[in-house]
């Protein structure tokens, strides 16, 4: 069975300029996702999709399969679903078909090859239709509040006052890794299916970098994990 991984790396990030190639411990941040994808040994093909010449050039240093997406998919309104469908349909026209699709966001440098393999195996081994990486909420989600018409209201009023031990565990998509059977993806244009598997990742590996704060947080956890190395260097 053919498995495809797509690493979407658009150049138009606004909150954190050029976040996909920003320096992260001496290497462009996209390097860590490329490296983890290669190490996972899950994919017949790994493609980096970009609209940016600089990202193309830098990514090509670490992997030789980088493609420029069409200009129509290089706008703020373009979605990863659009990018993946366009690429899959272009491959189908070449009579190249894939059974599995995995999307790996390059702004999750703490996600490793074992995480990728676990998400992918939810399809291959556990027979789920789709799967994704999740993490737990850092604060009690059942005590969430919302402002409506200038009034603060409880999101979950029936369980708001329960002790945390009595509340079900809630998980959230950590913005890093998604796998799906291609036929389901092309049919429904969604990574979430009714038969969904999840791989639970700890918060320290689940930092999705979109702001300078998240960048600092990821660097903190990265250095903490590699503390012995840094102590030797000092």
Q: Per the structure block, which two tokens stand in for 156?
A: 């979950």
Burial 180-219 (b: 16+ CB within 10 A, else e): bbbebbeeeeebebeeebbbebeeebbbbbbeeebbebbb
**Closest C-alpha among 120, 102, 84, 109 to residue 33:** 109
Cα separation values, 7 from 70, 132, 146, 220, Å: 15, 15, 34, 24
Q: Is 20 exposed, middle or buried (0-12, 13-18, 19+ CB in 10 A)?
A: buried
Look up the pTM and report it.
0.93
Residue 146 lies in a domain: no
Structural domain including 95 reads 3-135+172-233
Across the chain, the runs of DSSP E, i.e. the strands, are 3-9, 23-24, 27-28, 45-50, 66-68, 100-104, 130-136, 145-148, 151-154, 171-181, 196-200
Q: Which CATH number do you get for residue 100? A: 3.90.550.10
Strand, helix or coil for residue 99:
coil
Residue 149 lies in a domain: no
Residue 187 lies in a domain: yes
pLDDT in the model for residue 79: 94
pLDDT in the model for residue 99: 97
Residue 144 lies in a domain: no
Sheet of 130-136: strands edge to edge? 66-68, 45-50, 3-9, 100-104, 171-181, 130-136, 196-200
Strand, helix or coil for residue 69:
coil
* Residue 98: φ, ψ to 5°: -125, 145
pLDDT in the model for residue 107: 96
Residue 157 lies in a domain: no
Contact by Cβ (8 Å): 174, 201: yes
For the chain, what is the domain count? Answer: 1
pLDDT in the model for residue 200: 98
Contact by Cβ (8 Å): 144, 155: yes
List, run by run, the mean pLDDT of 10-residue segments along the chain (234 residues): 94 84 95 97 97 96 96 87 96 96 97 97 97 95 95 96 91 97 97 97 95 94 72 43
Residues near 58 by Cβ (< 8 Å), separated by ≥ 6? 21, 28, 30
Q: Per the structure block, which two tokens stand in for 27?
A: 């290497």
Residue 147 lies in a domain: no
Residue 33 lies in a domain: yes
- Please calculate the CA angle 25-84-125 and round it to the nearest 5 degrees: 80
Residue 153 lies in a domain: no
- Please calculate the CA angle 103-41-78 and round it to the nearest 5 degrees: 15
């Amino acid at each position: 069975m053919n498995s495809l991984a797509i690493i979407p790396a658009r150049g138009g990030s606004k909150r954190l300029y050029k976040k996909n190639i920003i320096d992260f411990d001496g290497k462009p941040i996209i390097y860590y996702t490329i490296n983890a994808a290669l190490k996972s040994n899950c994919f017949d093909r790994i493609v980096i999709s970009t609209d940016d010449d600089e990202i193309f050039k830098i990514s090509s240093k670490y992997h030789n399969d980088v493609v420029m997406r069409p200009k129509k998919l290089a706008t703020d309104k373009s979605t990863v679903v659009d990018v993946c469908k366009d690429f899959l349909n272009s491959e189908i026209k070449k009579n190249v078909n894939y059974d599995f699709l995995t999307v790996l966001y390059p702004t999750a440098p703490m996600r490793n090859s074992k995480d990728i393999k676990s998400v992918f195996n939810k399809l291959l081994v556990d027979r789920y239709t789709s799967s994704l990486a999740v993490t737990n909420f850092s604060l009690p989600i059942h005590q969430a509040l919302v402002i409506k018409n200038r009034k603060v209201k409880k999101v979950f009023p029936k369980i708001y006052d329960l002790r945390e031990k009595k509340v079900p565990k809630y998980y959230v998509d950590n913005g890093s890794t998604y796998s799906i059977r291609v036929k389901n993806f092309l049919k429904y244009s969604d990574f979430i299916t009714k038969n969904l598997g999840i791989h639970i990742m700890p918060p320290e590996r689940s930092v999705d970098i979109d702001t300078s704060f998240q960048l600092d947080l990821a660097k903190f956890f990265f250095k903490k994990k590699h503390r012995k190395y840094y102590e030797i260097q000092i």
